[in-house]
Each structure stands twice: as structure tokens, then as C-alpha cells.
Amino acid sequence: MGNCQVTDAAAVVIQHPDGRVERLYWPTSAGEIMRSNPGHYVTLVTFYISRGNSETSNTASLPTAAGETVRLTRVRLLRHKDILLVGQVYRLVTSQEVTKALNARKQERMRKDQAELIKQQEQQQKQRQRLQHSTNVEEGVTQVEKNEREKQRSSRYWRPSLQSISEIGS
């Protein structure tokens, strides 16, 4: 009677979409589970225990008896040939949910790539403006230097044009 928890821990736990929990006490392939549940995929579920009450939108939270929350951190699709290991928790997910999640991931990736592209374009624009400003400053300096040189070449020194005064009486 005291060893009931040991056998529960040594089982493959499969959660169905309708809430039913299936326990298998031997390793089996994901393909067998998918054949027995057509239209569903098997996913590996990773949990962790969090003591905080902060909730994020990407994770599902379930309260436990001790006031802690168990958060779903990762759901990974399994291939047909993958073996379900004893002691792991797996979830059956419908094909519609999988396509919805894949489309959402694709949209998120596209948004991220677009944001990075916009950021790169802004940086390139700033760099062009800095380069243009520095060339304008250099052009202004060179223009001033050219003007000074032209003044020196073309200008003659000023010479007074005075009439000579003759000296009277000496």
C-alpha cells in the first residue's frame, strides 16, 4: 500500500484535449498514440513550479495545493518515431491547434524580422546623414580655403596713388 506513488511516477502520462488523463506503464512510440487518436499530435510538456503570482501571456498557469503555480513552459511536437519515456508528461493536441500555433509563430517571426529591417534602415539613414553632414562640413572648409587662395592670387596689394610733392626752396 505504501508504494503507490512509485508506480504513479513511473508512468507515461498523456493528457487528452477533453481533460482525460491516460497512464501507460511502458515506453511506447508517439506514432502508436497518434494512430489510436487520429487528428491529434503528441507533444512533450515541460513544467516548472513558480512561487510568484505574476502571470505572463505566453504560459498557462495552474494553482497547486501549496499556493504555488505550475507553469507550462514549453510544448514540443514529437515525431512518429519518438519514444514516450516513462516519467514524462505528454499532451495530445489537435491538428487545428498545431496549425494555429505554427501560423502564430510565423507571424511573430515576420514581425520580428520586419522590426529588425526597419531598425537597420534607420541606422543606415542616420549613418548616411552623418556622412553627408561631415562631407558638407569638409566641402565648406575646402570652399573657404579655395576662396582665400583666389583672393591671394587675384588681389594686388593696395598702393596709394598720391601725387608727388615738389620741394620748394631749398
**pTM greater than 0.85 (yes/no):** no
Q: Vertex 58, ends 53 and 59: CA angle to 5°?
A: 50
pLDDT in tens, 46-64: 766 655 544 444 445 555 5
* 58 found inside a domain: yes
* CATH code of residue 44: 3.10.20
- Residue 80 inside a domain? The answer is yes
pLDDT at residue number 107: 92
Helices marked H in the chain — which ranges? 4-9, 30-36, 95-154
pLDDT in the model for residue 71? 60
d(CA 27, CA 78) in angstroms, rounded, equals: 14
Q: What's the domain count of the chain? A: 1
What is the rounded (10 degree) CA torsion for 107, 112, 116, 122? Answer: 80
**Contact between 98 and 17 (Cβ < 8 Å):** no
104 part of a folded domain: no
How far, CA to CA in Å, does 20 sit from each of 15, 91, 98, 104? 6, 10, 20, 27
pLDDT at 113: 93
pLDDT tens-place string over residues 139-156? 777 777 777 777 776 666
- In angstroms, rounded to a whole number, what is the distance separating the alpha carbons of residues 40 and 46? 19
Note the pLDDT of residue 167: 81
- Mean pLDDT, range 145-169, rounded to an integer: 74
What's the pLDDT band for 65 if we cut at 50, 70, 90? low
Residue 126 included in any domain: no
Quick check: is 101 in a domain? no
**Cell 593696395, residue located:** 158
In the structure grid, which three cell numbers stand for residue 145, read together? 580655403
Instruction: Supply the pLDDT for residue 95.
Output: 83
Question: Which amino acid is present at 125?
Answer: Q
Answer yes or no: is 132 within a domain. no
